[in-house]
């Protein structure tokens, strides 16, 4: 009986944790969709509305990849956490994981892509004229506006962003498979944030050739549920006691 119990606990505890996590950004597999030309700023009207860019023919979705043939192109998405189907363990997460495939041009002079991951909190009712991301066509840094009267946290840099300043970006040089984990603010969990956004920027020109992004996912790193951990311990102890009895 104890072996069966232990097997059952292992199956229910670990199989559940192995399930695919809910995504904090939408359509990161680029199997379908479009990139809307938004101009220089992202406002609350663009929350939960998918991908936006700052140049008409910039990023293009097709064939399961995102292609950028245009110079100085931004790719942006912002989502409201209350509209996402997040579990209790995901909302309790203190870390996020960002992963994507970056394929740089095979020729030319520019092979980098930069990104920022940003969280806003205390901003649950923004005004229509507020800005979440600004100056999308500027190189390297993203300037964030604090009109929302909340707190802006640069998740990838681990630093608060003050009004009118730029969130520090992370640079990926050359073709890479990226998977990196970020810590949220000390003592805070994902559920403390109102919005989560990502912004990618590359200065690749048409002369440099084609570059692509694929399999772009941002997920919470859930904390194991205490009840499952406790059940697993019970199963292990039961197994040990059974073995001792048989040894006697």
Residue-averaged pLDDT of the chain? 76
Each residue's pLDDT tens digit in the chain (248 positions)?
Answer: 444 332 322 233 333 333 346 789 888 888 888 888 877 788 888 899 998 887 655 677 876 677 765 556 788 899 999 999 899 999 999 999 999 999 988 887 788 899 999 998 876 566 666 778 876 666 545 556 555 667 889 999 999 887 667 788 899 999 999 999 999 998 999 999 999 999 888 877 777 778 888 999 999 998 766 555 555 555 555 555 555 555 55
CA–CA gap between residue 200 and residue 111 (Å, rounded):
14
pLDDT of residue 10: 28
The residue extents of the domains of the chain are 1-19+226-248, 22-221
pLDDT of residue 182: 96
Fold of 22-221: Jelly Rolls (2.60.120)
CA–CA gap between residue 75 and residue 137 (Å, rounded):
10
pLDDT tens, position by position, 36-51: 887 778 888 889 999 8
The CA–CA distances, whole Å, from 1 to 6, 125, 231, 245 equal 9, 55, 15, 13
pLDDT tens, position by position, 104-147: 888 877 888 999 999 988 765 666 667 788 766 665 455 565 55
Longest C-alpha distance within the chain, in Å? 78
The CA–CA distances, whole Å, from 43 to 38, 79, 135 equal 10, 12, 12
CA–CA gap between residue 199 and residue 207 (Å, rounded):
23
């Amino acid at each position: 009986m104890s072996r069966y119990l232990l097997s059952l606990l292992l199956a229910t505890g670990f199989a559940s944790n192995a399930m695919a996590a809910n995504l904090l950004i939408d359509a990161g597999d680029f199997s379908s969709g479009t990139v809307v030309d938004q101009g220089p700023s992202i406002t609350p009207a663009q929350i939960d509305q998918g991908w936006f860019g700052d140049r008409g023919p910039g990023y293009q979705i097709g064939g399961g990849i995102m292609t950028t043939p245009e110079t100085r192109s931004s790719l942006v998405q912002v989502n409201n956490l209350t509209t996402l189907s997040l579990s209790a363990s995901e909302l309790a997460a203190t870390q996020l994981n960002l992963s994507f495939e970056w394929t740089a041009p095979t020729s030319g002079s520019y092979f980098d892509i930069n990104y920022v991951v940003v969280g806003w909190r205390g901003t649950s009712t923004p005004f229509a004229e507020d800005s979440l991301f600004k100056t999308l066509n500027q190189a390297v840094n993203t300037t964030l506006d604090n009109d929302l009267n909340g707190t802006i946290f640069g998740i990838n840099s681990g630093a608060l962003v003050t009004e009118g300043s730029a969130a520090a970006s992370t640079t990926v040089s050359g073709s890479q498979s990226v998977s990196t984990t970020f810590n949220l603010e000390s003592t805070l969990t994902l559920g403390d944030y109102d919005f989560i956004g990502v912004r990618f920027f590359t200065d690749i020109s048409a002369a440099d050739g084609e570059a692509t992004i694929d399999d772009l996912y941002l997920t919470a790193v859930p904390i194991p549920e205490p009840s499952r951990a406790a059940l697993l311990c019970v199963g292990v102890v039961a197994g040990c006691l059974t073995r001792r009895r048989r040894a006697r």
